Amino acid sequence: MESRKVDVRQSPRSRAWAATAALAVGCLVTACGGGGGGGGGGGLPIGLLPGTTTPPAGNNGSGFVPSDSVAGLCAAPRTGINPETGRAYPDSTGTLDNEKSWVRSWIDETYLWYGEVPTTLKASDYATPVTWFNVLKTPLTTASGKPKDRFHFTYNTEAYRQLSQGGVSVSYGAEFVSIATSPPRELRVVLVEPGSPADVAGLKRGAKLLSVDGVDFVSATGAANAATINNALSPKAVGERHTFTFQLGSAPAASYSLTAANVTSTPVQNVKAVDVGGGNHVGYMLFNDHITTAEQQLIDAVNSLKGTPGGIQDLVLDMRYNGGGQLAIASRLAYMIAGPSATTGKTFEQLTFNDKNPFRLSASQSQMLFYSTSRGGAALPTLGLSRVTVLTSPETCSASESVINSLRGVGVTVNLVGDTTCGKPYGFYPQDNCGTTYFAIQVKGVNQLGFGDYGDGFAPTCTVKGDDYDHQLGDPNEAQLAAALTLRSSGACPVPVAKAAAARSLQKPDAAEADVEKPFLLDQSPLRRNRLLDPLPNPG
């Protein structure tokens, strides 16, 4: 029975949702754009399970009302039909206090670390349900000193629905990375969505931004220039047009007039078999999003690789930009890589909750096996590999890490080439209330061996720092793919190098590394770092 959905991401991605870049007295905000999704599919309200009127066991005496008693009481209730369910919105007239009451009760009932939320916080000190929600999380840290919960966020419900199901967002179809935010600034194109305005205009990975609507991006200062650049990089509406100057490599600078559109993400790209000699082939695919549309694209990719003359002997799975998404997609991908002999009857991920068991799931209901069929029930193709290489970065997160962890749990050798992953063995059931979808960690996942303690990420087998923008993704000479091929052929890692993305930091000694600005992807919604569970089963 398929019954979970944990985390999502978006086409323009998630790490820098609130990142800013200083422009003298101004601030270049690099955190707009559409949102990722993964909560599609008609998820049930999570305050309490349907049909219940009392809080889960252990909640009595907490001082909070049951969340379902205030669910849907909204200061601005929605009207009409919910496109996700086909039924009227469940909203009724209420107040902001009702919404804040729901948030606090829902956290107390379902949050994985509800007992660590500070008890001194007062709802009256926060103006909105969202600002109230933002502080209702554990203040503790991981072993390395990172915040234990750095994944707590909210999203507009309708934008989330569109992105989770189809990867649709308002954008140019280009993803950017900010390498330096102080003059001389540097911003590069990371990805271009096929068929998008950016693709049609001829924009390529690696192109360096020089100007925006006549403003010198590299050197300009001042609040007015900051606003111009911000507005252009993060379009808000379809039809919005801005002019950019980019330079690719040593080619002359060129002007691009880009018009924002509803861009549909293509989560699986650049599927190919790389001839490594001796009649052997290594499969390669770029996988960027665990969204609904990824399922058929992954199936097509596996069938394409299976059709390689002589088959493929290894696979390089490029998930360096994949922040997560639907766990069911991750389960199917892992099955297609490993095949039935390694996965039949084995646990893809065992879900663990807080001590209240808020969703009243039995052990079998909270166990996700490796899915061997599509959502429609068709048998999935398989590669039957005992080894896979995953290209990783700090953007590799959540459901992507579940693929790594689950395969290792059933004995598949998973080599990582790139950088340490983000460290998110957690997930949530996204919950809408009054037009805002709330994401609070409710689940921790472990593999067949019971391992799930990777809050500081998975370390790479071969380290390749930074990103190689001088080569297109899938090019055997691109730094991470080249390192993966070297590892396969020699059994050893090439000498670690830092590519163009971190060129400035190469000049600095390791002792000063803490002061080096870290590149970050722009226009990433927090959804890019998520593991989303499918709708809850009815407790039986």
19: which DSSP letter? -
- Do 255 and 279 lie in one domain? The reply is no
Among residues 269, 272, 335, the alpha carbon closest in space to that of 308 is found at 272
What are the residues whose beta carbons fall under 8 Å from the beta carbon of 93, sequence distance 6 or more? 73, 74, 77
Q: In this structure, is residue 337 part of a structural domain?
A: yes
Among residues 167, 165, 102, 111, the alpha carbon closest in space to that of 130 is found at 102
**How far apart are the C-alpha atoms of 442 and 428, rounded to whole Å?**
5
What are the residues whose beta carbons fall under 8 Å from the beta carbon of 38, sequence distance 6 or more? 5, 6, 7, 8, 9, 164, 290, 291, 324, 325, 326, 430, 527, 530, 532
- Do 49 and 79 lie in one domain? The reply is yes
Q: How far is CA 141 from CA 119, 127, 147, 345, 352, in A?
A: 18, 27, 4, 36, 20
- Do 314 and 417 lie in one domain? The reply is yes
**How far apart are the C-alpha atoms of 99 and 435, rounded to whole Å?**
11
- pLDDT for 264 equals 86
Q: In this structure, is residue 507 part of a structural domain?
A: no
Supply the Cα-derived Rg of the chain in whole angstroms.
23
* Cβ 14 vs Cβ 504: under 8 Å: no
Residue 160 has pLDDT above 90, yes or no: no
- Do 237 and 347 lie in one domain? The reply is no
| Out of 140-154, 259-273, 433-447, 510-524, least confident range | 510-524
**How far apart are the C-alpha atoms of 434 and 157, rounded to whole Å?**
9
pTM: 0.78
**In CATH, what number is assigned to the domain containing residue 1?**
3.90.226.10
379: which DSSP letter? B
What is the span of the domain harbouring residue 45? 1-18+33-141+266-501+529-540
What are the residues whose beta carbons fall under 8 Å from the beta carbon of 446, sequence distance 6 or more? 349, 350, 352, 425, 452
Half-sphere exposure of 156 (CA within 13 A, CB side): 11
Q: Find where tokens 């199917």 sit.
A: 332
| Out of 9-23, 91-105, 307-321, least confident range | 9-23
**Number of other CB atoms surrounding residue 84 within 10 Å:** 19
- pLDDT for 58 equals 36
What is the average pLDDT value for the chain, to the nearest integer?
83
- Do 72 and 186 lie in one domain? The reply is no
Residue 145 has pLDDT above 60, yes or no: yes
Residue 477 has pLDDT above 80, yes or no: yes
Q: In this structure, is residue 329 part of a structural domain?
A: yes
**Residue 343 is which amino acid?**
T
CA angle at 70 for the pair 66 and 73, rounded to the nearest 5°: 170
Q: In this structure, is residue 191 part of a structural domain?
A: yes
Q: What is the pLDDT of residues 507-531, one digit of tens each?
A: 333 333 344 456 665 544 444 445 4
- Do 256 and 283 lie in one domain? The reply is no
Q: In this structure, is residue 518 part of a structural domain?
A: no
Q: In this structure, is residue 476 part of a structural domain?
A: yes
Among residues 413, 411, 417, 416, the alpha carbon closest in space to that of 387 is found at 413
**490 pLDDT band (50/70/90 cuts)?**
very high
Per cent of the chain over pLDDT 70 is 79
- pLDDT for 534 equals 54
**In CATH, what number is assigned to the domain containing residue 247?**
2.30.42.10
* Cβ 297 vs Cβ 197: under 8 Å: no
Residue 31 has pLDDT above 90, yes or no: no
- Our count of domains for the chain comes to 2
- Do 208 and 278 lie in one domain? The reply is no
Which among 195, 229, 264 is the end of a domain?
264
Which among 233, 249, 264 is the end of a domain?
264
Q: In this structure, is residue 401 part of a structural domain?
A: yes
Q: What is the pLDDT of residues 287-305, one digit of tens each?
A: 998 988 999 999 999 999 9
- Do 256 and 273 lie in one domain? The reply is no
**204 pLDDT band (50/70/90 cuts)?**
very high
- Do 233 and 299 lie in one domain? The reply is no
- Do 179 and 124 lie in one domain? The reply is no
- Do 340 and 459 lie in one domain? The reply is yes
Which among 264, 284, 308 is the end of a domain?
264
- Do 325 and 219 lie in one domain? The reply is no
Two tokens at 260? 């924002």
E runs forming strands in 425-470: 426-427, 431-433, 436-439, 443-446, 462-463
Two tokens at 483? 């390192």
- pLDDT for 497 equals 52
| Out of 57-66, 429-438, 514-523, least confident range | 514-523
Q: In this structure, is residue 413 part of a structural domain?
A: yes
292: which DSSP letter? T
Q: How far is CA 4 from CA 220, 337, 540, in A?
A: 48, 21, 16
**How far apart are the C-alpha atoms of 343 and 386, rounded to whole Å?**
11
